[in-house]
A and B are shown apart, each in its own frame.
Chain A
Amino acid sequence: MVASRYTVEEQRQAIWVYLEQTSGELERISLELLSKGRQLADRAGWPLAGLICGHQVRPLAQQALAHGADEVWLADHLLLADFAVETFAQATFAALMQGRPSVFLVGGTPNGRDLAGRLAVRLRTGLNADCTNLRLDPRTGILTSEITGFGGGVLALLEMPNHRPQMATVRPGVFAPADADPGRTGRVIELPLDLSPEILRTGRVKRVVGRGVDLTQASVLVCGGRGVAGDFDMLERLARLLGGEVGATRPPADEGHVERERQVGQTGVVCRPKLAFACGISGASHFVVGIQEADTVVAINTDPEAPIFEFSDYCIVGDASRVVPALVRALQERRGTTHD
């Protein structure tokens, strides 16, 4: 069998998490991974390290320590100022070969997935993608990754007993971040790096970014599916009255009724709001996994047999184009407002 670049015997008993950052700030996914990593590390009695790649990122080390890391490894280089898979893969590979951690976790963001996919091959190891939970056996040091299979009803448990590092990616929103403890201290290790611009092949020609939405932060989520027939304005009104955000299933996102970043579910965002509405949504498990951590779910569907009702607290058999406006009116009356 193909051998990984370092073996089980050569590993160090440590958990590493890749800490994604953008313009000098740790992404929320990084805090989520630190929180889960801390739990795994405590149970196993292993140290938790965070790896940060970027330029002038030293100020982020303290934040990583406060969020649970025992050690922070810094790959700081001018060529890492902007994400490019070639330079980031090289820096991360160098760090891993030096630290030889048993476990390496990466956020399942577009850049995280680009990086993890290349690294797993470079390291000749396995990669469990989009895990919904992770467990570490303190005795054997084996990481078990839970992956939801087809239809979401099945959890497959994956392991890689003979290869290191044990790599996994986790989508944003799957784990909750922990509160910071500003008093925590730890070691900061600067990695000597030898990067040359020749390895860079992919270049960014242009970038256009507006205000992005982050559904993982919403406390109320009003989701619409194919059954709302593209009428997201009505959902927007309800969301605004409740201080929430609009989400969608995949078909409306595919059809361009909402931005892609509002797609909820397995290949969209996994959310943990207090309250989620599912309007005109059948309840495919690909969607349901995105709201299963909600405290309360309300479903509105014309079909009394729709599977979504199995996953809801309050079930309304009815036409969303009548029920949603009724909710909007009731809320407006209650608040004594007559405008939008």
Chain B
Amino acid sequence: MTDLHIVVCMKVVPKTEEVRVNPETRRLIRAGARSEINPPDMNALEMALGLKDRHGGRVSILSMGPPTFEPYLRVGLAMGADHVYLLSDPQFGGADTLATTYTLARGIQRMDGADLILCGEESSDGATGQVPPGLAEWLDLPQLTLVTDVTIDAVARRVCGRREIRGGYELLAAPMPAVVSARTACNEPRFMDYRIKRRAFEEGQVTVWRAEDLAADETMIGARGSPTIVSGLDEARVRERRREFLRGTPEEIAQDLLARLGLLD
């Protein structure tokens, strides 16, 4: 099955460590925060490239976001992906999960579908993990979420995933096409291939689609198509702690602490 087509959904997010909160206004200070590919999406990409190594075929990266995403997504090309599809239109802005999944699903339909659609477990700025099941619903496909390992049977056109559950794991199988989300940190994403890096950045295959290219229903994209509104930002309640520092040798500290905790009675 050399015509295997895997789509990996990837997003670019501000680096979590670099996003600060203004202590007075409690607003996010994004200025100066650098961006990166959402780390779990690198695990999804590695999963896809591993399947391509074994079965051949091609890997497409799909992303909805502003044009500034493009250079980050080219890193995926330098790792071995074949094509980037960036869904970029001011009209897509302000999308919640419903509008995001609708738009990504239109993108997949526009590229004539796929055998497998891989997502990360969650996005570090959304952290909802609701895109993979939502995408599966729009496309009417089965879903295997939170899998740590995936195999495909090219002849039977089935995908099998290992999913961690409380106290163990389960193996789930579904016919392809299917949507799969990769458990964060389930693999080591490969490095860029420096032999193809320059080509990826200079002449890599990047297609940008706007709302009209997707024949998207305008009432279903971006802020307009999003049921959810942010009604406010509030201070996170932080519980007041005593913050008492204990000093001495480890033995003295141990005695002191256990006494304060009432554990020596």
Contacts and interface: CB of A to CB of B under 8 A. Distances in A.
Given A113-B145, A330-B258, A156 B168 contact: no
A155 B136 CA distance: 29
A120 B100 CA distance: 13
Contacts of B168: 207-210, 212
A193 interface: no
* Most B-side CB within 10 Å, residue of A146, A212, A250, A313: A313
B174 interface: yes
Contacts of B174: 201-203
Given A212-B168, A292-B239, A157 B97 contact: no
Contact of B133 (A85, A152, A207, A293): A85
Nearest to B19: A150
B65 to A, nearest CB: 17
Given A113-B145, A297-B241, A126 B97 contact: yes
Interface in A190-238: 201-214
A326 B253 contact: yes
Nearest to A274: B261
A261 B28 contact: no
Contacts of B226: 126
A329 B254 contact: yes
Q: Looking at chain A, what size class is its interface with the partner chain?
A: 35 or more
A317 B233 CA distance: 35
A118 B128 contact: no
A99 interface: no
Interface stretch (B3-11, B48-56, B78-86, B244-252): B244-252
B228 A331 contact: no
Contact of A120 (B134, B146, B234, B263): B134
A329 B167 CA distance: 31
B206 interface: no
Nearest to B99: A2
28 contacts: A110-B146, A110-B165, A117-B131, A118-B134, A122-B137, A126-B96, A127-B97, A129-B128, A129-B129, A144-B231, A152-B236, A159-B228, A202-B144, A202-B173, A205-B170, A207-B168, A267-B184, A311-B238, A311-B241, A312-B243, A314-B246, A314-B260, A316-B245, A323-B254, A326-B250, A327-B258, A330-B254, A334-B264
Among B165, B228, B253, which residue has the most Cβ atoms of chain A within 10 A? B228
A205 B243 CA distance: 51
A127 B164 CA distance: 24
A312 B242 CA distance: 7
A175 B133 CA distance: 25
Contacts of A309: 243, 245
Interface stretch (B67-75, B109-117, B195-203, B217-225): B217-225
A158 interface: yes
B233 A154 contact: yes
A120 B98 contact: yes
Contacts of B101: 121
A326 B254 contact: yes
A295 B246 CA distance: 18
A86 interface: yes
A317 B244 CA distance: 11
A113 B249 CA distance: 48
A210 B167 contact: yes
Nearest to B105: A121
B107 interface: no
A26 interface: no
A178 interface: no
Q: Which of A124, A212, A213, A330 has the most CB of B within 10 A?
A: A330
A6 to B, nearest CB: 13
Interface stretch (A34-42, A160-168, A181-189): A160-168
Interface of A: 1-2, 4, 85-86, 89, 110, 113-118, 120-122, 124-130, 144, 146, 148-163, 201-214, 242, 250, 254, 260-261, 266-267, 275, 286, 292-293, 296-298, 309-318, 322-323, 325-327, 329-331, 334
B142 interface: yes
Contact of B228 (A130, A146, A158, A315): A158
Nearest to B14: A150
Given A156-B230, A201-B175, A323-B254, 14 more contacts: A1-B225, A2-B219, A85-B133, A117-B130, A120-B134, A129-B97, A153-B236, A154-B26, A162-B227, A202-B144, A203-B172, A211-B167, A310-B243, A330-B254
Contacts of A129: 97, 127-130
Nearest to A323: B250
Given A110-B145, A110-B146, A158 B231 contact: yes
A296 B263 CA distance: 13
B145 A114 contact: yes
B263 A242 contact: yes
Can you list the 8 inter-chain pairs with the closest CB atoms, starting with the nearest? A212-B167, A117-B133, A126-B227, A129-B128, A326-B250, A209-B168, A163-B227, A153-B21
A312 B169 CA distance: 35
B219 to A, nearest CB: 5
B207 interface: no
A10 B99 CA distance: 23
A210 B253 CA distance: 38
